[in-house]
Structures are given as C-alpha cells and as structure tokens.
Amino acid sequence: MANTYTNAKLDLTSTSVTTLYTCAASTTAIVKSILVSEDSGNADTLTLTLTSGSDVYSICKTKSIGANGTTELLTAPLVVQASEILKVTAATANRLHVIASILEIT
C-alpha cells in the first residue's frame, strides 16, 4: 500500500458545478481539510457535493462564506472511494478559492 499526500485547488470563476477532485481507480482518498476563501470583499455561498455513480450527495448546501474570510468545510476527515467525485458550486463567479488536502491510499 502506498500513501501519497496531495491537494486539489480551484479558483471558482463561474457558477457552474465544478469538479474539485476525482478519486482514481483502485484508490481510497481521505480528505483531511477543505478550505474556502473569499477574496473579493463580498460574502458568498458555496455548495459541496459527492458524486458516486449517478447518485449525488450533499455535504454542504449553500454554505455561507464571509467577506474576505476563510472557512473550513469539514469537521472530520471524509473518505472518498474509487471513482467518486467531489464537486463545488459557487453562487457568484470570481469570489471563491477552494483547497482540499488529501491522502491517497493505493
């Protein structure tokens, strides 16, 4: 078993559903942290989901992020299984940055 530490980063430049991280085949990922930073001086909201096959699960629904603030979305590590996808959606374009800290186990 190999352990690889990595991160996934996004500058949410649109209001479209955007893939933050896709867990590779034959891999389990432990997401330790998902930080969201607002950089425009305007409060905003964000939605975080986990897609597994055709099913979509809400992790954070319309989570408020304060103006010029940083928010941790997770209160405990999140296990993501092979082929599952973390996706984020910003309410407003060009305001939010997202960084996930991930341990991949193969």
How is the chain split into domains, by residue range? 3-105
pLDDT computed for residue 13 by the predictor:
97
As a CATH number, domain 3-105 is 2.60.120.340
Q: What angle do CA 72, 74, 80 make, to 5 degrees?
A: 135
> 56-63: which pairs have CB atoms within 8 A and are 24 or more residues apart?
59/86, 62/91, 63/36
pLDDT in tens, 20-73: 999 999 999 999 999 999 999 999 999 999 999 999 999 999 999 999 999 999
Average pLDDT of the segment spanning 85-101: 98
Is residue 75's pLDDT more than 80?
yes
Rounded distance between C-alpha atoms, residue 42 and residue 44, angstroms: 6
Helix, coil or strand: residue 92: coil
Q: Which amino acid is at 60?
A: C
Its pTM stands at 0.95
Is residue 1's pLDDT more than 90?
no
